[in-house]
Amino acid sequence: MTEQQANSTDSGNPGHYTTENASTHKSRWWIWLIVAVIILGGVAWWQLRGATPAAKTGGDAASRPVLISTAAAHQGDIGIYLNALGTVTPVYTVTVTSRVQGEITQVYYHEGQMVQKGDPLVEIDPRPYQASLTQVEGQLTHDQAVLNEAKIDLERYQQAFTRNAIAKQLLDDQQQVVLQDEGTVKNDEGQLANAKVNLVYTHITAPIAGRVGLRLVDPGNIVQANSSTGLVVITQLQPITVIFSINEDYLPQIQRQLRKGKKLPVDAFDHFESTKLASGSLLTLDNVIDPTTGTLKLKAIFDNTDNALFANQFVNVKLLVDTQLNMTLIPAPAIQRSAQGAFVYVIKSDQTASMRTITPGTTDGSVTAVQGVEPQEVVAVNGFDKLQDGAKVTIRKPTSGSGGASGQQPQTGQDTQSGPPTTRGAGAPAGKKGGSSQ
């Protein structure tokens, strides 16, 4: 058989062709299987490698020290304050009106100007009152001449009566004429004084020292005498008072201090209680308690030299009623509370936190008097979300210009700027109606 015939015979054999194709397809399937296994293995290895550091990091987090800031407890004095909302009230408020009628010729003041007592404010046309004064002066001169003439006649009648030259009735009549003329002169003198006063009233001056309000009239307007419409309003600002109310339960405490002759300090703060506007003292108490609210009104006085207090302004008032001496003071943020009560984390010398139950007392904003902590002991003031009893801590290093809780030394755990030794607080009991709060 020739080679061509053999090839022809092989190509025409279908069984021989199927065996070769199956073999080729089977070998390719194993190749793809191997590639898939390699890919899956690589993915699993990559995931295992990436998860291992994370697991290690998570495992180390529990044992890693907590970064915190601290403050040292210190001994000092803290004041007990009563807090209240007050209204700034001027000592004097004057609405200046005209006491004579006339045309306004001049306004001397500027809106919002500070004036002193006697400073000119408004000028009213004085010419009509000057003319009236001249008329009264002329009438007085005339009546004085008539009186003098009557007195001369009286002297003549007296001399004639001594010589029995006239009847007694003529002498008596002349005496009464003199008395009538004296009454007329006195009436003229009164009219003269009134004319002078009216002339003075045309020149309106400030009756008190204070700040003038907005201008109410302009030159050229006609004003009426004793009108209810004011020309200008003057409010005294120095000194100035603040009226506030406290709960009646605090009245004995205040009276006890007043009976000792103490002058109770009062501080006025802004709306947010972040800025102190002025410092003054308690001036007086009201004489009755409001039965509807159970509160008593008090009045404090302030020098207000810088005009920080403005009339009818609402301020937060702190009245110092007593001072607690030699108390242990810590920052208020260091105190935490739970169902069992208040506690703090005390930082030991081995840089571990120890939970300690305390009894809080008087608080003044950022400082609280406590029992259960000794002076110079160091307490944590932040990081409470991670702190636990016995946890290791790392104290944050102080930064430049920082104070209070952020100024710590990590070597000793002491607060480098724990505040002044004397601190005032607002320790009035809470929950009283219409009164003060801590």
Fold of 100-233: OB fold (Dihydrolipoamide Acetyltransferase, E2P) (2.40.50)
Sign of CA dihedral 284, 288, 293, 294: positive
Query: What is 68-77+326-417's CATH number?
Result: 2.40.420.20
Mean pLDDT, to the nearest integer, of 82-108? 94
Please tell me the distance from the alpha carbon of residue 358 to that of residue 380, in angstroms, as a whole number.
14
Q: Sketch the domain layout of the chain as residue ranges.
A: 3-45, 68-77+326-417, 83-90+237-324, 100-233
CATH superfamily of 83-90+237-324: Efflux pump adaptor protein, beta barrel domain (2.40.30.170)
- 23 band by pLDDT with thresholds 50, 70 and 90: low
At residue 358, the 3 state secondary structure works out as coil
Q: What is the pLDDT of residue 408?
A: 39
- 34 band by pLDDT with thresholds 50, 70 and 90: confident
Radius of gyration of the chain (CA): 49
Cα separation values, 317 from 242, 244, 250, 269, 407, Å: 9, 8, 15, 6, 31
Cα separation values, 133 from 140, 144, 201, Å: 11, 16, 13
The pLDDT of residue 216 is above 70:
yes
Mean pLDDT, to the nearest integer, of 309-336? 91
Alpha helices in 123-218 (DSSP H): 127-162, 168-201
Please tell me the distance from the alpha carbon of residue 397 to that of residue 67, in angstroms, as a whole number.
10
Torsion of CA 227, 228, 229, 231, to 10 degrees: 70
Average confidence score pLDDT of the chain: 82
Hey, do 68-77+326-417 and 100-233 end up sharing a CATH topology, with the first three levels equal?
Answer: no
Please tell me the distance from the alpha carbon of residue 124 to that of residue 101, in angstroms, as a whole number.
8
